[in-house]
Structure 1
Amino acid sequence: MGLFGRLLSDARTAIKVLRNGLRTRRRRNEANRFAATDPRPIPGSIQIGVYFADTRVNLYQIRQWYAPLAELAKHRGVAIIARSPGAYLTLREESPVPVLYLRTVTDIEGFLEQQDLATMLYVNQNIKNFQMFRYGRMWHVFINHGESDKIYMTSNQYKAYDYAFVAGQAALDRLAKKLWNYDVANRVIAIGRPQSDHLVDHVPFAGNGRTVVFYAPTWEGDRPTMAYGSIASHGVALAEAVIASPGHRLIYRPHPRSGVNSREYREANQQIQRMIAAADPAAGHLFDAGGELGWQIAVADVQVTDISAMVYDRLATGKPLVVTRPASPTAEVDESGFLASAEWMSTADLADPLGFLDRVITDEASRSNLAFWANHHFGDTTPGSSTARFHAAIDLLVERWQEQAATHVDQPRVEHDALDDEDDSDEESVPQAD
């Protein structure tokens, strides 16, 4: 690259930085206006906090908790704490529970001094979670944003939390096997999958007699060991076959980050969307980028997904499920659990993808296998069971908090210091994501 090329590149970078700064300033000002006028929770009314320090690009991680949090709020005071102005603006429009914009550490301390917060929940491993960890008079609980066999699910970061809520026996076994010197028996509580109790709350999808194929691929990943995405390797051929069939109907819901690191992946994603847009409207094929996830899992006759939490969201229903075999030889695949007996779709199976899917739908042995693994991963999947376990786990921690608080009555909740870290991050910042 010559001098002119470097100058041009520098100018483009400077313009991008300026635009991002102006956009962030606008969002921050808008967030400040709403935060100053929106009603705030009554002091002493919030017992359960949900800390979301991430940006809008990862809102999918907390969206799947909306319904369980709304149900919990019938029994306990619940509020979401947002640090990013963009995330806050979206959350305040979507969330069924109160959302607070606490941009600075001083804002957080003011909120904590007003509330008897017993438990703070975390849906991801964002590094900014550690800004909240400094407050010791509450339980810090990792609830994650899904059950899967990704290597993310055994991160040593689990040890930073007082407790973790997991789905079931598979997660308990996974953590016990992978993490050194981690007290799984006393620090991990199995609650099932409370989201599964709300899958059919809203179904904006009228049936038309076709076999519904729900294709929900993950993104391409940010490192070779997590290259699980199938859009470029499987997706186009699969979508072509389903769309061309007079007896099948496609729901295509790619991961929100699909294509952020790979041009090939991005172009394949766009190609599938164009195919759906050009298809016969009467077929009802759908590109789904909506905020709600659950009804798609409930209505599908078969689900095709990559190694991700989407595998286990579907597994909890016990209905036909296909997992794509990663085309990347560097992708790390743990086949010691359910994936050891999953219905794997390799690129070779794309010679007849509809035949493959139809076999899975009708095969009784496959259904029996799914039922076994659903119990192993989630325990009792009877409707309402996971919600009951989630509430019981929260009640247990509140009771333990009350016992601790009673023995430390002279200890202040907040130890003030000079730290006043602001958070102006927005979509241009892409933190760790599963």
Structure 2
Amino acid sequence: MKLLVVGVLAAASAAQVVGALLPHVPLLLAATAGSLAAEGVLYRWQRGMVSLFAKSHADVTVRHVLRDLLLVVGLLRLGEQHRETVYAPLVAGLLAFYGLHWAIQAVSVLVRRTRTLPVVTRNIDVPALRLSPAPPALLRRPGHRLAVFGLPATAGLLATAATDAPVYGAAGLALSLAVALAGLGALVLRLLPGRRPAGEQEVLEWFDAWLAEYRPTVGLYFSGGASSAYQANMWLEPLARLDGRPLIVLRERLMVQRIAATDIPVVCLPKVSTLMRLEHSTLRVLLHPSNSGKTSQVLRIPTIKHAFVNHGESDKLSSCNPYVKAYDEVWVAGPAARERYALAEVGVQDQDVVEIGRPQLGAVRPYAGPPAPGAYTTVLYAPTWEGWDGNPGNTSVIEAGENLVRALLADPGVRLLYKPHPLTGSVDPRARAADLRIRELVRAANRERSGPRPDASAAAELGRRTAELDRLTTAAFRSAADQAERMLRQPAPEPGRAGAVARATAAWEEAYWASRPAWEHQVVTDVRPPLYACFNQADLLISDVSSVVSDFLASGKPYAVANTSGLAEDVFRTSFPTVAAATVLTPDATGVPALLDAVRHPERDELAGARAALALRLLGPAEPPSQERFAAAVRALCAKAGEHRARRAERLMPPSPLPGPRQHPPASPPATATAGDPAGRPRVR
């Protein structure tokens, strides 16, 4: 289909050239009509080709200009035979239309600049910024605008070429000029002083005032791409449960809408100069779930203490990144991570490591026994991604994934939940190809299975719960909304929304699993259901050396780790402590049947005690709860920041002024230089 569209456009353009130069009116008409039809197909069904044409410098603007140019050439060639002076005004009108088009584009750029604010917010009331809905998308997209506004002119010129009647071309051009003038006027009105949003300096002053009024105490700092949003999202709930006034600080504008539903105020500060304004705020602590190139910029703020909380812990080298010694403290789950940093010798001092557990794991339900007789054994296969270093042991997807899935699907009593890492295939195309093959294996297995399905009421209930959750968590934006309009549509949430979201989420998860047949395998790639909801459904986890394993230990359920590192099993267990309580599976998946048997018969499970001991080592004690330890760590670091600010303020205080001259000064001996003053200046006593 794609090649057909490209072929039609190329053939139509070539035919237009021939029809214009001969001139041959029927060929010119047919070629132009075919070109317009291909454009419609391109934008309706082949949107991916639009960007390909743009990269080839043959975007819709170029194609439209070429189409009209050939029509003009054809008209002028016809004019040599008939009435050239009659067609000349049509050409002038077309040039005027293109002049208006470029004027609209220039004004559109100016409007966009006035609406690109130095601070992007969410969950904050912004009436002082005088924001308004965005201009229509058609006025902001030059290619689309030219195609729509220029269509009457093109049609009129076609009719003139067919009938030799200039009135049709004049009418089409008049209509195109009229809509172009209307669009230009609508944009110019937005540049009037009373219609444009607040200027940069005014926005910055508003931001400073908001910081002074809100008085944030602890924040979450995040910089990254859209696919890494999960790293920040996992800390939203623990942050929201703190007693202080939390804040989320982002650096990339696109991330503002990638952050999951939360009542915490969100500010995006793209420029370093704007970020530095936090130095004079009440913000005392920033938590960092990941490292990025822009992290070094915020670390320059001396009035804020920084803690690295990570987005999960594993035995990989990435969990002991030397960069973390730049933070004031490194917060880890349990003693194992403390030992990991000590053994890694990357410059992290032991006194800077704070054990807080994993406050996110409160949503993970504990082990409630093996699957009931006759019930399906639910296995969660959640491999990690391939990583940046090319280590074959990072992910099992490439070497073992298909074998593991085939072995699981071969057991008629297994229901498989396959949840790949969001970044799978982003580095190694082999991982992406293996992931696609695994998904097809799951679909094929479902086609061969049958069984009772939930009635229509379950699907209807899921639909109701989805609508309710979307209403609470998803802002309704027009497709044409820009960032300024989204700021306007996302004010401070109403009190109690966080609790309503929690209840709606729990109800949605219950409805989701109830709507799925108990025998049906699932490929879980959407944001919902989240990983921890899959934990609660699973009787067994199969994963790689990753933070997924550490988190799953909170459930107390059996788990297995695929060994694709090439190491012997004993070396593999020694090298990666998280594997200590796991069943180790080889790439050929020969150990899967025995593993399933141990899950179904707990008396054959020899690793239950080891899992409990490992959970204590990796995640820390159950009491006090992790959320309390997390909150205590925040309070302690806030106190350190406060003490540091006090000492800094004391150092920066100007010296006490000297007493002024007295009206009748008492007699005193002349001051003399001291040996400690090499300049010979008198010492003031």
Instruction: Specify if TM > 0.5.
Output: yes
Q: In structure 1, what is the equivalent of residue 472 of structure 2?
A: none
1:229 aligns with 2:395: yes
Matched-pair contact (CA < 8 Å) for 1:216–1:252: yes
Greater relative CO, 1 or 2 (CA 8 Å, sep 6+): 1
**How many Å separate the matches in 1 of 2:559 and 2:53?**
45
**How many Å separate the matches in 1 of 2:315 and 2:526?**
25
The structure-2 alpha-carbon separation of the partners of 1:154 and 1:367, relative to structure 1 and needing over 3 Å to count, comes to same
Q: In structure 1, what is the equivalent of residue 525 of structure 2?
A: 289
Aligned pairs (5 A) from 1:343-354: 343-348=583-588, 350-351=589-590, 353-354=592-593
Quote how far apart the aligned CAs of 1:62 are: 1.4
Quote how far apart the aligned CAs of 1:293 are: 2.6
The structure-2 alpha-carbon separation of the partners of 1:336 and 1:239, relative to structure 1 and needing over 3 Å to count, comes to closer
Aligned partner letter, 2:640: R
Segment of structure 1 superposing worse, 253-262 or 37-46 = 37-46
Q: In structure 1, what is the equivalent of residue 363 of structure 2?
A: 198
**How many Å separate the matches in 2 of 1:409 and 1:132?**
20
SS at match of 2:238: helix
Quote how far apart the aligned CAs of 1:232 are: 2.2
Quote how far apart the aligned CAs of 1:269 are: 0.7
Aligned pairs (5 A) from 1:18-417: 32=117, 35=120, 39=124, 43=212, 44-72=214-242, 75-91=243-259, 94-113=261-280, 115-179=281-345, 182-184=348-350, 186-199=351-364, 209-225=375-391, 227-278=393-444, 279=446, 280=449, 282=517, 283-291=519-527, 292-327=530-565, 335=575, 337-340=577-580, 342-348=582-588, 350-351=589-590, 353-359=592-598, 362=602, 363-381=604-622, 385-409=625-649
**How many Å separate the matches in 2 of 1:98 and 1:29?**
23
Q: In structure 2, what is the equivalent of residue 420 of structure 1?
A: none
The structure-2 alpha-carbon separation of the partners of 1:326 and 1:16, relative to structure 1 and needing over 3 Å to count, comes to farther
Aligned partner letter, 2:257: L
The structure-2 alpha-carbon separation of the partners of 1:210 and 1:28, relative to structure 1 and needing over 3 Å to count, comes to farther
Matched-pair contact (CA < 8 Å) for 2:321–2:346: no
Matched-pair contact (CA < 8 Å) for 1:315–1:370: yes
SS at match of 2:555: coil
Aligned partner letter, 2:544: D
Matched-pair contact (CA < 8 Å) for 1:233–1:327: no
Matched-pair contact (CA < 8 Å) for 1:171–1:377: yes
The structure-2 alpha-carbon separation of the partners of 1:31 and 1:57, relative to structure 1 and needing over 3 Å to count, comes to farther
**How many Å separate the matches in 2 of 1:162 and 1:53?**
19
Quote how far apart the aligned CAs of 1:199 are: 2.9
Matched-pair contact (CA < 8 Å) for 2:333–2:618: yes
**How many Å separate the matches in 2 of 1:342 and 1:364?**
11
Quote how far apart the aligned CAs of 1:228 are: 1.4
Aligned partner letter, 2:273: T
Aligned partner letter, 2:286: M
Quote how far apart the aligned CAs of 1:38 are: 5.6
SS at match of 1:400: helix
Quote how far apart the aligned CAs of 1:141 are: 0.7
Q: In structure 1, what is the equivalent of residue 201 of structure 2?
A: none
Matched-pair contact (CA < 8 Å) for 1:343–1:360: no
Aligned partner letter, 2:547: A
Deviations 1:194-244 (A, max 9, x none): 1111236xxxxxx99311101110112222336411112222222233334
**How many Å separate the matches in 2 of 1:13 and 1:178?**
50
Quote how far apart the aligned CAs of 1:42 are: 5.2
The structure-2 alpha-carbon separation of the partners of 1:266 and 1:107, relative to structure 1 and needing over 3 Å to count, comes to same
Aligned partner letter, 1:78: P
Matched-pair contact (CA < 8 Å) for 2:578–2:614: yes
**How many Å separate the matches in 1 of 2:546 and 2:56?**
33
Quote how far apart the aligned CAs of 1:36 are: 6.3
TM-score between both structures, scaled by the size of structure 1: 0.79
Q: What is the aligned-residue RMSD (CA, Å)?
A: 3.4
Q: In structure 1, what is the equivalent of residue 55 of structure 2?
A: 15
The structure-2 alpha-carbon separation of the partners of 1:397 and 1:37, relative to structure 1 and needing over 3 Å to count, comes to closer
Quote how far apart the aligned CAs of 1:304 are: 0.4
**How many Å separate the matches in 2 of 1:398 and 1:13?**
54
**How many Å separate the matches in 2 of 1:28 and 1:231?**
45
**How many Å separate the matches in 2 of 1:243 and 1:18?**
49
Matched-pair contact (CA < 8 Å) for 2:364–2:555: no
**How many Å separate the matches in 1 of 2:559 and 2:231?**
22
Quote how far apart the aligned CAs of 1:119 are: 0.4
**How many Å separate the matches in 2 of 1:58 and 1:285?**
27
Aligned partner letter, 2:253: P
**How many Å separate the matches in 2 of 1:17 and 1:132?**
39
**How many Å separate the matches in 2 of 1:100 and 1:18?**
38
SS at match of 1:294: helix
SS at match of 1:347: coil
**Structure showing the higher helix proportion among its residues:** 2
**How many Å separate the matches in 1 of 2:332 and 2:521?**
34
**How many Å separate the matches in 2 of 1:18 and 1:111?**
45
Matched-pair contact (CA < 8 Å) for 1:304–1:323: yes
Aligned partner letter, 1:274: E
**How many Å separate the matches in 1 of 2:58 and 2:285?**
39
Deviations 1:29-74 (A, max 9, x none): 99859936862665342111111111112112112212212222xx
SS at match of 2:606: helix
Quote how far apart the aligned CAs of 1:95 are: 3.5
Unaligned runs of 5+ in 1: 1-10, 20-24, 201-206, 413-434
**How many Å separate the matches in 2 of 1:36 and 1:51?**
14
Aligned partner letter, 2:354: I
Quote how far apart the aligned CAs of 1:357 are: 3.0
Deviations 1:228-278 (A, max 9, x none): 111122222222333343321111111111112222211111122233344
Aligned partner letter, 1:82: L
Quote how far apart the aligned CAs of 1:339 are: 2.5
Quote how far apart the aligned CAs of 1:318 are: 2.1
Deviations 1:280-334 (A, max 9, x none): 473232211233331212331110001111110112322111011025679x966
